[in-house]
Amino acid sequence: MFKGAESNIYLTKWYDKKAISKIRIPKIYRQRMLDEDLRKKRTISESKMIALAKEFGLRTPYIYFVDPIRAEIVMEFIPGSRASKVLSSSICFDIGKFASTLHSFNIIHGDLTPSNFIVNRKITMIDMGLSFYSTRREDKATDIRLFKEILKSTHYHAYSEFFYDFLDGYKSVNSKELEKILQRMDEIETRKRYAVA
């Protein structure tokens, strides 16, 4: 079993296939009815997003079964390592492609970190628990900013190289839009600098 921030992850079987059961755990600090409602909505939303991303041609787990009441998703088990453990230029390039494809369909990932991707021969996006629909450049910029910040804190030595690889991957899908999103990102970063000054 793996304990995530939001959920418990169990290795299980779906018929004869290895599967993952992701169950969102109750949060005691939330009011009970509100908590149940939130877990139910996030379970439905995540399973839809994972299936939708697959329709866009992105590699995500097959969803086998969803139980909103138990806040459970049973999905394909993806063998491999978390991208955060084996990060490289080509993995960052690929994550950039995932992000750009999602953004071109106006889906914001919401938690774009290497630990939400699994790498074997190919790379698979496994966690879309915080994904949502938005056409705003600011939201797309926030995805990119989070990825940059995580790289800075976990891979400082190679951070700028990996971030450029990510941007190259992003551009390879949609270069025109990236310019505008990066401009937005600069504005957010400047605003933040003034806010803390």
Ligand X SMILES: Nc1ncnc2c1ncn2[C@@H]1O[C@H](COP(=O)(O)OP(=O)(O)OP(=O)(O)O)[C@@H](O)[C@H]1O
**Residues acting as catalytic residues:** 111
DSSP 65: E
Which residues lie near Mg ion (CB under 5 A)? 116, 127
The answer to whether residues 100 and 169 touch, using CB atoms and an 8 Å cutoff, is yes
Cα dihedral sign for 11, 14, 16, 19? negative
Q: Taking the CB of residue 129, how many other CB atoms lie within 10 A of it?
A: 22
* Binding partner selected for residue 2 from ligand X, Mg ion, none, CB under the kind-specific 5 to 8 Å limit: ligand X
Minimum CB distance to Mg ion smaller for 100 or for 116: 116
Task: Give min distance, CB of 31 to ligand X, in A.
Answer: 21
Provide CB contacts within 8 A for 157, sequence distance 6+. none
Site string for ligand X, 12-51 (x = CB under 6 A): --------x-x-----------------------------
Which residue, among 62, 41, 42, 43, has the nearest Cα to 51 in the 3D structure? 62
Please tell me whether residue 75 binds ligand X under the rule CB under 6 A.
Answer: yes
Q: What are phi and psi of 75, to 5 degrees?
A: -140, 170
* Binding partner selected for residue 73 from ligand X, Mg ion, none, CB under the kind-specific 5 to 8 Å limit: none
Task: Give min distance, CB of 96 to ligand X, in A.
Answer: 19
Q: If phi over 0 gives left and psi between -120 and 50 gives alpha, with beta otherwise, what is residue 96?
A: alpha
Please tell me whether residue 78 binds ligand X under the rule CB under 6 A.
Answer: yes
Provide CB contacts within 8 A for 118, sequence distance 6+. 78, 79, 80, 81, 82, 83, 124, 126
Stretch that binds ligand X, among 31-39, 62-70, 72-80, 140-148 (CB under 6 A): 72-80
Minimum CB distance to ligand X smaller for 127 or for 178: 127
Q: What is the largest CA-CA distance in the chain?
A: 58
Stretch that binds ligand X, among 4-12, 29-37, 96-104, 139-147 (CB under 6 A): 4-12
Q: Which of 61, 96, 110, 169 binds ligand X (CB under 6 A)?
A: 61
Residues binding ligand X (CB under 6 A): 2, 4-7, 9, 20, 22, 61, 75-78, 82, 115-116, 118, 126-127, 129
